[in-house]
Chain A
Amino acid sequence: MMKKGKWLFFLMALVVFSIPLRAGAAEDFGTNRLYGTLPEEIRSLIPTDFFDSEAGSVLDTVNVGFFFRTVGTVLSAVLPGAFRNLAFVMGLLILSSVMKTLGSTVTSPAIQTVFSYISVVCVCGAVFRITGDLFSCMERFVGYLHQFITAIAPIMTALLYACGKVTTATVSGGMLTLILAFLESLCGGLLFPVLQITLAISVGSALCSTVDLSGMIAIISRILTFTMTFVSLLLTIVLAIQSVVAKSADELALKGVKFAVGGLVPIVGSAIGDALATITGGLNVVRSVTGMAGAVAVVIVMLFPILYLAVNRLFLELSSVAAGILMLDKESKFLQQMSGIVGFLMGASALVTAFFTVTLAVMACIGS
């Protein structure tokens, strides 16, 4: 009897000490590969061992100063490009204003109309090019985000399984993949095409003086706002319900397992139960660190396009005001509409960022 007890104790110790308890045990779950999935522009902002660090190290790195420094670095990267765009548009507006002033000496109304048309065409062409660049920037970063989420989703799911949260792992892993696919379809299939159509209608409205399409643009804007609000609400409700239900199911299952182990295994059953709790506690730390690091990485990846869009939107608004002052009414209205479209792009970026951040945070914290 004593010999059996000793063997059981020896086996228990072997099980406990064979599994690494440190939060830095990243190689088993592949968290050390996450850094490589980040885009080049972002890697300088995040330490190389960010996903492999221990909990204390992550807490030291991610503080208010870190976020302010990151925002400052990203702003210093986006401002030069945005200022160039502003100088480009302002230069054209001043030139158009001078043309309008000199052109007013032309008495022929037909030639004056054509002058106005050429001025609007030039401003539309320039702003369309800038807006096209903004679309490309956002598409690129959504692609980077897709790459990162595709890499972190199986890791978080595996960690949840290892922590004994089977239902949460299944639900959250599936949820993350579903949100990724849904938001990609929404952006690629609905949002971007509708915004591009709105852009084209704005250009057409600016060029055709006899047809006013601003009413149509207002309707499209309202539909887009409603769609994005509805999608946000829907995903929030689904995420909340599934997290609560999965958590309850896992807690019940874990209690059942502990009771069974404690009851069925003689003498050392409760000790094994406590050992399992210690092991899962260690894995929970790894899960929390990886999840929160992933959430921070998502915010940093999308910070670049959001700030770039925000600064360009501000400059388009300024240009619209300047055009109004220079008595270029059509150009002013067109710039105002472009600013609205860039605002929608910002909203979509923020929506995507918020959902992935919240989902990863939920996966990191649930049942801890």
Chain B
Amino acid sequence: MTVLKLCGIAVLGVAAILVVRSAKSEFAIPLSVVTGTILLTSALATVYPMVDFVKELSDVGSFTLYASTILKALGIGLLSQSAVDFCHDCGENAIASKLEFAAKAGILLLGLPIIRELLTLATEMMK
């Protein structure tokens, strides 16, 4: 989906939310979630060819582990940011901060194999 279409969806979504909020406020939040999800999935679909290219490059350059770690971290970050924003919009700041913490822990966990590899290399060198 082109950027122009995404801009159109965003503007229409915001307008619809404003109208729905004044009529039936309980439907505003689900509408906001739907609009955000459409925009996020469209953006990710645009990025997908780049991910394929990076995968090909990493296979050739033998840095698959590092490339997959970086891409997964990026994915977790973007998805968790969307969810945190949604929590803030609903006024649930406590849930948002806990979700942030979970995202941080998930990203750090991704780096664990590389840190383990670093420590193994360091131990071998010391021997």
Are the C-beta atoms of B81 and A106 separated by less than 8 Å?
yes
User: In the assembly, what is the distance between CA of A107 and CA of B77, in Å?
Assistant: 10
A115 within 8 A of partner (CB): yes
B 61-99 contacts with A by CB, 8 A: 61-63, 66-67, 69-70, 73-74, 77-78, 80-81, 84-85
Question: Which chain B residues border A105 with CB–CB below 8 Å?
Answer: 78, 81
Per the CB 8 Å criterion, the residue count for chain B at the interface is 37
Question: Which chain B residues border A87 with CB–CB below 8 Å?
Answer: 61
A257 within 8 A of partner (CB): no
Are the C-beta atoms of A115 and B81 separated by less than 8 Å?
no
Question: Which chain A residues border B115 with CB–CB below 8 Å?
Answer: 121, 125
User: In the assembly, what is the distance between CA of A63 and CA of B47, in Å?
Assistant: 59
Interface residues on A, range: 35 or more
User: In the assembly, what is the distance between CA of A47 and CA of B122, in Å?
Assistant: 40
Q: Which residue of A lies closest to B105 (CB)?
A: A114
Are the C-beta atoms of B114 and A106 separated by less than 8 Å?
no
Q: Which residue of A lies closest to B47 (CB)?
A: A102
B126 within 8 A of partner (CB): yes
**A111 contact from B47, B66, B100, B124, Cβ within 8 A:** B100
**B77 contact from A88, A92, A106, A196, Cβ within 8 A:** A106
B42 within 8 A of partner (CB): no
B110 within 8 A of partner (CB): yes
Q: Which residue of B lies closest to A91 (CB)?
A: B61
Instruction: Mark A161-198 against chain B: 1 for CB-CB distance below 8 A, else 0.
Output: 00000000000000000000000000000000100100
Q: Which residue of A lies closest to B76 (CB)?
A: A111
Query: How would you classify the secondary structure of chain A's contact residues: helix, strand, loop or mixed?
Result: helix
Question: Which chain A residues border B107 with CB–CB below 8 Å?
Answer: 111, 114-115, 118
Q: Which residue of A lies closest to B126 (CB)?
A: A196
Q: Which of A9-17, A126-134, A298-306 interfaces with chain B?
A: A126-134
User: In the assembly, what is the distance between CA of A133 and CA of B84, in Å?
Assistant: 43
Instruction: Mark B31-48 against chain A: 1 for CB-CB distance below 8 A, else 0.
Output: 000000000000000010
Question: Which chain A residues border B121 with CB–CB below 8 Å?
Answer: 128-129, 132
User: In the assembly, what is the distance between CA of A108 and CA of B101, in Å?
Assistant: 11
Best-surrounded residue of B62, B74, B104 (most CB of chain A within 10 A)? B74
Are the C-beta atoms of A91 and B63 separated by less than 8 Å?
yes
A124 within 8 A of partner (CB): yes
Are the C-beta atoms of A118 and B125 separated by less than 8 Å?
no
A144 within 8 A of partner (CB): no
Q: Which residue of B lies closest to A87 (CB)?
A: B61
Are the C-beta atoms of B63 and A111 separated by less than 8 Å?
no
Are the C-beta atoms of B77 and A115 separated by less than 8 Å?
yes
Are the C-beta atoms of A196 and B103 separated by less than 8 Å?
no
Are the C-beta atoms of A95 and B70 separated by less than 8 Å?
yes
Q: Report the minimal beta-carbon distance from A316 to chain B, rounded to whole angstroms.
A: 16
Are the C-beta atoms of A126 and B118 separated by less than 8 Å?
no
Are the C-beta atoms of A203 and B118 separated by less than 8 Å?
yes
User: In the assembly, what is the distance between CA of A199 and CA of B126, in Å?
Assistant: 11
User: In the assembly, what is the distance between CA of A132 and CA of B115, in Å?
Assistant: 15
Given A108-B81, A111-B107, A126-B66 in contact, is the A99-B118 Cβ separation under 8 Å? Answer: no
